[in-house]
Amino acid sequence: MPSKSASSHYNAPSHDRRIYPSRLEAGQEVRLACQSCHRRKIKCDKLSPCANCEKSGVVCIPVQRARLPRGRTLKSLKPNVERESELRDRVSRLEQLIGNPDAVEARNHDNAITGSTADQLQVVQHIVAGTEGANITGYQSQSPDPVLKPSLFMNHIFPTRQQIPRLQGNASAVVGEPDRGLVDASTCAGNPSSNLASLTELQINEQLLRLFFIQVDPVIKIIHQPSLTKYLLEGKPYLKYDPLHPAPAALAAAVRLTSVSSLSNEQCAELFATSKESMVSKYQKAAEDALARVDFVITNDMTVLQAFVLCLVATQCLDRSQRVWTMLSMALRIGQAISLHLHNPSFPLNIFEREMRKRLWHAIGLLDIQASLDRASEPMMKIDWLQSLLPSNLNDDDIENTSETIPPLTETNFTDTTFTLILCHSQSAIRSLNFNDFTEPVVSDIHIREQVVTKFQQTALRLLSECQPKRLSFHWYTERFTAYMHALLQLIAVRPLQRHPNFTPPKIRDSGLLKLAVKVLETNYEISSDPRGIPWRWFGKLFFPWHALAVAIAEICGQRDPVLFQSHWPLIEQAYDYFEGLEADPKQAVLWQPMKNLMKRAQVQKDSLLSTAPETMTVVSELASDPTMLFNVNQYESELASRSLEATFNTMDMYSNVFDLMDFGNMAEDFLSAAAWSNYESFIDDIHESGYPTLAQSGGLDRI
């Protein structure tokens, strides 16, 4: 009988397609135990695929590298200081390539993202703000973002369509003075796009990291910026992970994908001399592969969940279908599996871990609210799960993974998490006001609903008492976003998104509800079009106020004053066209057909007014065609932005505090108010029916 030797591997049957390791010289790469066997701590035969993976039916991920040094050879390695010095030299060469040699001497070893790299951030900020401009005429059709292409990653969990309709992209922005932090392109040597086109993969990744810190991290605050900077720019281990652990690599891949997703087509061309579609395809595949390597579906690692949540954010930017709505439930269950919803889990946690867990849990809650609003469905998370786990109001530099205490900052300090806290309080208010008894008892009493809105306003005033909107762009964005949420919550309080038998709608005098709904649409447009808000425009697209649009259309349907009708009609019509462009597939969208039916009623009312008062309608139409006349309210908004925050909120109260206009008389006696409420109720009923298109077509609703 022939002896079993290494040569017998080469006499394997022809049907055995496994790859067998060849004998390698010392110092060269060798095949080691695969990731699955290494994780399960069992012996691996080091084939590809190995026998253990074949038996268990899992994907075998082979590991092939040079053996790590041991014993005496470990002492001969270069010191870490020398390695860090090499990394700093490479970053310095990148700075010279950008065209600011004076920044080289300003680099600080203890802070890789400030100092000299601040000049690079200014270059990126200039391109972020300078490649887009806005048209002041209102909501415009926008350039399409790239199609989210299908991939082979986890097809049994993430089914993809052959083609997903393109999402309408960005409009240009109002031309205005750049922020003080922005620099003119003439201050940079050479053309940024031509320079960056020749960057290496490492340099591109560094640029994407800086873009993440500018455009994503301020509004989706789940990462500790100093720790990620040390890992990706200084080559240090991430937190307490081993250098070769795959979890930090998955987080890095998700960061790059989210950065690319937040860019416009123009920014990609300017920064990287390539299309956004090609970059999305590349970094989407890299992120999916990285998540597959860490088995994210069954993970108990918070860093892996952070990577998954960032991938969901990126996917939602690119794909308006129900994919994220479906996948989000997985993130929620993983979060529950690692006890993110518990204030005191059964295992010990330090201060740093508690803060990172709170941030991540509220990011999942934000996606939950966004997905439920986008699909007109109930959220999955309970209010109690969020209100008891608010993040602390602190900066990333105030805490690290070895911290034992939190610095004593007051609620009035504007910190890295101030915007996150605004989002936390606003989503809690929306959950209280907006939904039915599926997850929480409904607040049906109008006075209690008013108290919910007032509480949000008071909390926001405290959080933003040190806001500096005239000096810092993100402070301006936070202040305007908060004012926008305050107006939106007022609207939701009097016109809930779902019907409830115990809710009696109040009558609003002086067309106050129509004016408030139009105010929400105008504020949303102002935030998205002002140059100061361009870096975070992608975030605003996720929360288009279709509810305000529906209320505005329902109210204007019963409007008999032709001057008032036509003064608001152009903006409503443009917002409607913009909303139509946002829907990835109007035939499948839950909200599109109900909105279309509501708009038809408004068109009938417009034709009726045109026939009864043609001269008045014609004169107002000519005035409305002039952008300066149509959007003179935006000039008013610009003046507000230059004032203090307190004055801005007080002005909004006087301008659109709908609770001061409530009349608790019998709505049936007011024909116009009753007709407007009837129109809105019909819209809500249409949403419920269109939410089950398959059942409706097959007659399944009759059998339920």
| pLDDT digits 0-9 by tens, 164-174 | 233 233 333 33
Least confident of 301-315, 548-562, 588-602, 608-622: 608-622
Question: How many contiguous H segments (helices) and E segments (strands) does the chain have?
Answer: 30, 4
496 falls in which pLDDT band (50, 70, 90)?
confident
The per-residue pLDDT of the chain, averaged, comes to 74
DSSP-based three-state secondary structure for 662:
strand
Provide CB contacts within 8 A for 551, sequence distance 6+: 491, 495, 513, 517, 680
Q: What is the mean pLDDT of residues 381-400?
A: 88
Q: Are 144 and 168 in contact (CB under 8 A)?
A: yes
Lowest mean pLDDT, pick from 98-107, 230-239, 377-386: 98-107
Q: What pLDDT score does 361 carry?
A: 96
Annotated domain spans of the chain: 6-68, 83-401, 422-692
pTM: 0.70
- Binned at pLDDT 50, 70 and 90, residue 620 comes out as very low
Tell me the CATH number of domain 6-68, given options 1.10.12, 2.30.31, 3.10.110, 4.10.240: 4.10.240
Alpha carbon distance 549, 555 (integer Å) = 10
Cis peptide before 345 (omega within 30 of 0): no
> Which range has the worst mean pLDDT, 7-21, 86-100, 410-424, 494-508?
7-21
Whether the per-residue pLDDT at 413 is higher than 60: the answer is yes
- Distance between CA atoms of 562 and 606, rounded to whole angstroms? 8
Q: Is the pLDDT of residue 113 over 80?
A: no
Q: Which residue has the tokens 């005239």?
A: 470
Confidence of residue 79 (pLDDT cuts 50, 70, 90): low
Please tell me the predicted confidence (pLDDT) of residue 684. 86
Q: How many CA atoms lie within 13 A of 387 on its CB side?
A: 10
Report the pLDDT averaged over residues 341-358. 91
SS (H, E, C) 168-222: ECCCCECCCCCCCCCCCHHHCCCCHHHHHCCCCHHHHHHHHHHHHHHHHCCCCCC
What percent of the chain stands above pLDDT 70?
66
Q: Whole-angstrom Cα distance, residue 318 to residue 108? A: 37
DSSP assignment, residue 108? B
CB-count burial class (<10 Å; 0-12, 13-18, 19+) for 350: exposed
Please state the rounded mean pLDDT for residues 357-367. Answer: 95
Where does the pLDDT of residue 599 fall: very low under 50, low under 70, confident under 90, or very high at 90 and above?
A: very high
Measured between alpha carbons, how far is 557 from 578 in angstroms, rounded to an integer? Answer: 20
In this structure, which amino acid lies at residue 267?
Answer: Q
- Average of per-residue pLDDT across 656-675: 64
What's the rounded mean pLDDT across residues 491-510? 80
% residues pLDDT > 90 (the chain)? 35
pLDDT band at 233 (very low <50, low <70, confident <90, very high): very high
> What mean pLDDT do residues 602-622 have?
67
